[in-house]
Amino acid sequence: MKNLLKLMTAASTASLLMLSCAGTKSDKPVYLDENQPIEARIEDALSRMTLEEKVKILHAQSKFSSAGVPRLGIPELWTTDGPHGIRPEVFWDKWKQAGWTNDSCVAFPALTCLAATWNEEMSALYGKSIGEEARFREKDVLLGPGVNIYRTPLNGRNFEYMGEDPFLASVMVVPYIQEVQKNGVAVCVKHYALNNQESLRHEYDAVVDDRTLNEIYLPAFKAAVQKGGAWSIMGSYNLYKGQHVCHNSYLLNDVLKGDWGFDGAVISDWGGCHDTDEAISNGLDLEFGTWTDGLTMGATNGYDAYHLANPYLERLRDGRASEDVLNEKARRVLRLIFRTAMRTDKPFGSLCSPEHYAAARQIGGEGIVLLKNEAGVLPISGDAKKILVVGENAVKMMTVGGGSSSLKVQREVSPLDGIRAAAGEGVEVMYERGYVGDISGKYNGVVTGQDLSESRSAAELIADACAKAAEADVVIFVGGLNKSSHQDCEDSDRFSLELPYNQDAVISALAAVNPSLAVVIVSGNAVAMPWVDDVNAIVEAWYGGSEAGNALADVLFGKVNPSGKLPFTFPARLEDNGAHALGAYDPHSTVAKYSEGIFVGYRWAQKQGIKPLFAFGHGLSYTDFLYSDAVLDKNTMGGNGKINVTAKVTNVGAVSGKEVVQLYISDEECSVERPVMELKGFKKVALEPGESKDVTFAIEPEMLKFYDAEKGEWTLEKGRFTVCIGSSSEDIRCKASFDYEEDR
């Protein structure tokens, strides 16, 4: 009703305004004429606005909305948390949900799962689907997707992001953005930039050298702007060079708006704005959440007291602030409004549709990663008549909790329910708890309604599970992390790499009584696996959203042949991660030194010669793929030329499947230290049994460059380069080398 009234008010105001003008079409105000170029409409609207109206549109008026210009029929903006689903409605001035009955949504898999598909088509499907849900709910800005780089496996918010590699994240974010915005809904790509931990997230100053900043932490944001065409960007909480990033002159003015040509609006993270003068001068356009108690604490804490509200207005009136800067901010916010709330040709969208559930299931199934599979444990055979499912995560709802991405779903299929549905008649599916984790189930007023209370001791839980495991044909343990504090959750980091809640003991006990054990990890982070050699099958299932159980069952029973690949490295020990090896992650320090530089994830492991538990890009299938030798169409490159490299991939197994063919490039001769290899391309190919396909990559000079910090530019030196094609960063199947002959 609130959104309907909002639309009716804006429409009636605009109608009255048009009636007050001369009756001919040519006399219609330019800003109301959608046939006019958007820049002309912006300038016309700006010329009609008062100083007070310009300032008014630059800050929040409620928890999730900002003002329009009612006098001119310009509507307000409504934002919603994402990036995995549309957040339930909250009260005007409170975080707690408002108690609507028509604001449930489909939860899509977490973005780690999307990244694990290594499939741009899945990203487009995700963006289309969540964009339709946002449009139906009359949201103008979707606060997502997130593309912060996976620097440490302890970061509580890694599950919301797209992995450790800047190239993978850059490719996967673009279709998501494009498809969301086709619905007339803006994305707000977050969190720009260097927001790689939750500990002291409002206080730590990221100390990063320029090469690392440009090669690792900025590329995905740059792709979001220049290739995806993102309409808004969210500044992050942390500091860089001593300035909070929500008003950081270098990152916002110089890089984002200057070098990249970003024409959208910079939106603060909620509570990320700290200084009026910096907010005015350093690139912030739209301020949200500075006082999270809104109007409830009186006028001094009202929205008009925001940095970009009355304090800004005072500076404009007494000459301390320039109206030219104000006009530029207002232009950007108007541009965002005209692209979203002011558009009349938007599709209607849809909510909780069969198509959206199907999309969630498909993306979830394609993102699940088969880490290990021996002794024919998976897929589950049709001969299995007694299946035991063990673990709290087999039944616990995962769509509630975790911070701002918490959702209120219409339904969530648990792994246990998905397995029972897939097993069918004649198969007994038993369940045992195994361990007790977090029995709570609520966030901001959304309550799961599950009773997860338990009276048995840890020893009794293990004994009961093992007794049933001994008589089962197959045992499926479903554990991992959850959305509680200090696990996969906003505002806190994990304490360690280990599984919580005594799960290691449960897994080891089950493995001792039944070798047909499959361990399913539900998480958005890597976890330690001291039992890895004792277990025959391991699956990374991620947070699968509304269709989590069905997507998992599809893979476990072979309806879907797994094709997901890890978007980040699973280290065997925390010390095998660069930031931790160098003591460069300190959750208690307000200075975060990125001492590992460009050597993040697999780059660090290969530099140090460390064998990971599971490598970046790793993921097995129920079939096998054979790679031919890599063939270059020429052996030298120069100037603006390119080289094509082709490898034939053949499905030599008995079932159809998909393989992600990965292209890495090594620089054999360089004046600076470079990674052993870097991902520069990937293609997902579907193959029937016995079928072969040629997979060709075009290698261009831009792919070979490194960032020269002294020159402040991307540089390419002549020398020899090696092309590495394989199934993961540690499973290279074929190589070929060529020479680049010119310096650029």
Whether the per-residue pLDDT at 90 is higher than 80: the answer is: yes
Q: How confident is the model at residue 300 (pLDDT cuts 50, 70, 90)?
A: low
Instruction: State the maximum Cα–Cα separation within the chain, in Å, rounded to a whole number.
Output: 85
Q: Which residues contact 32 (CB under 8 A, 6 or more apart)?
A: 14, 17, 18, 41, 73
Domain boundary among 281, 307, 339: 339
Last residue of a domain, one of 575, 608, 641: 608
Give the total residue count for the chain.
744
CATH code, 224? 3.20.20.300
Residue 246 has pLDDT above 60, yes or no: yes
The reply to whether 573 and 713 lie within a common domain is no
Residue 98 pLDDT exceeds 70: yes
pLDDT beyond 90 at 742: no
**DSSP assignment letter at 270:** T
Q: Which of 413, 433, 402 is nearest to 358 (CA)?
A: 413
Quick check: 560 and 655 in contact, CB under 8 A?
A: no
517-522/474-480 β-pairing: parallel
Tell whether the model's pLDDT for residue 414 goes beyond 70: yes
What are the angstrom distances between the C-alpha of 182 and each of 106, 140, 220, 644? Answer: 19, 12, 20, 33
Active-site position among 165, 269, 488, 493: 269
CATH number at residue 410: 3.40.50.1700
pLDDT cut 90: percent of the chain above it: 92
Q: Which two tokens stand for residue 287?
A: 């301020």
Distances (CA, A) of 87 to 191, 407, 414, 470, 727: 18, 5, 20, 43, 37
Residue-number span of the structural domain to which 333 is assigned: 2-339
CATH number at residue 704: 2.60.40.10
pLDDT tens digit sequence for 494-533: 999 999 999 999 999 999 999 999 999 999 999 999 999 9
For residue 17, how many C-alpha atoms fall within 13 Å in the half-sphere facing its CB? 20
Whether residues 25 and 137 fall in one domain: yes
324 and 409 assigned to the same domain: no
Give the tokens for residue 347.
């599709």
**Residue with structure tokens 């509580």?**
156
Q: For residue range 596-620, what is the model confidence (pLDDT) as tens digits?
A: 999 999 999 999 999 999 999 999 9
Q: For the chain, how many helices (H) and strands (E)?
A: 18, 29
Of 312, 329, 309, 328, the closest CA to residue 320 belongs to 312
Instruction: Report the number of distinct structural domains present in the chain.
Output: 3
Q: Please report whether residue 620 resides in a domain.
A: no
- Whether 346 maps to a domain, the answer reads no
pLDDT of residue 251: 98
pLDDT for the residue numbered 734: 98
618 in any annotated domain: no
- Is 735 domain-assigned? yes
The answer to whether residues 590 and 632 belong to one domain is: no
DSSP-derived 3-state class of residue 98 = coil
State yes or no: is 269 an active-site residue.
yes
pLDDT at 302: 84
Helices (H), ranges, 153-289: 166-181, 210-212, 219-226, 276-281
Question: Last residue of some domain: 574, 608, 642?
Answer: 608
Pair 178, 241 in one domain: yes
Reported confidence tier of residue 433, pLDDT bands at 50, 70, 90: very high
Please name the residue ranges forming H helices in 543-658: 548-556, 578-581, 602-608
Distances (CA, A) of 564 to 540, 657, 679, 743: 9, 11, 16, 38
What is the gyration radius of the CA atoms in the chain, in angstroms? 26
pLDDT over threshold 60, residue 54: yes
* CA atoms of 598 and 208, how far apart (whole Å): 10
559 in a structural domain = yes
The answer on 372 and 260 residing in a single domain is no
pLDDT digits (tens, 9 = 90+) for 526-583: 999 999 999 999 999 999 999 999 999 999 999 999 999 999 999 999 999 999 999 9
Cis ω for the linkage preceding 83 (within 30 of 0): yes
* Same domain, residue pair 233 and 315: yes
Q: Are 262 and 331 in contact (CB under 8 A)?
A: no
Mean pLDDT over 402-411 rounds to 96
Does 187 lie in the same domain as 80? yes
Is 615 a domain residue?
Answer: no
Please check whether residues 483 and 405 belong to one and the same domain. Answer: yes
* Spatial contact of 577 and 571, defined as CB atoms under 8 Å apart: yes
Q: What DSSP designation does 477 have?
A: E
Segment (H or E) for 663? strand 657-667
In terms of domains, do 326 and 201 share one?
A: yes
Same domain, 71 and 185: yes
- pLDDT score, position 8: 39
Burial class (CB in 10 A: 0-12, 13-18, 19+), 318: exposed
pLDDT at 5: 38
* 608: nearest Cα among 675, 525, 662: 675
Is the omega angle on the peptide bond into residue 193 within 30 degrees of 0, that is, cis?
Answer: yes
3-class secondary-structure state, position 482: coil
Does position 25 have pLDDT exceeding 60, yes or no? no
pLDDT for the residue 549: 98
Between the two ends of the chain, the Cα-to-Cα distance in Å is 59
Between CA 57 and CA 41 the distance in angstroms is 16
Tokens, residue 234:
């969210």
Between strands 428-432 and 386-390, the pairing is parallel
- pLDDT category, 24, cuts 50, 70, 90? very low
- Tell me how many degrees the CA angle 225-366-162 measures, rounded to the nearest 5: 30
- List pLDDT tens digits, range 444-489: 999 999 999 999 999 999 999 999 999 999 999 999 999 999 999 9
pLDDT at 7: 41
CA distance 291 to 394: 39
487 and 603 assigned to the same domain: yes
Instruction: Assess if residue 156 is contained within a domain.
Output: yes
Q: Do 479 and 519 meet the contact criterion of CB atoms below 8 Å apart?
A: yes
Q: How confident is the model at residue 632, as a pLDDT?
A: 98
Residue 613 lies in a domain: no
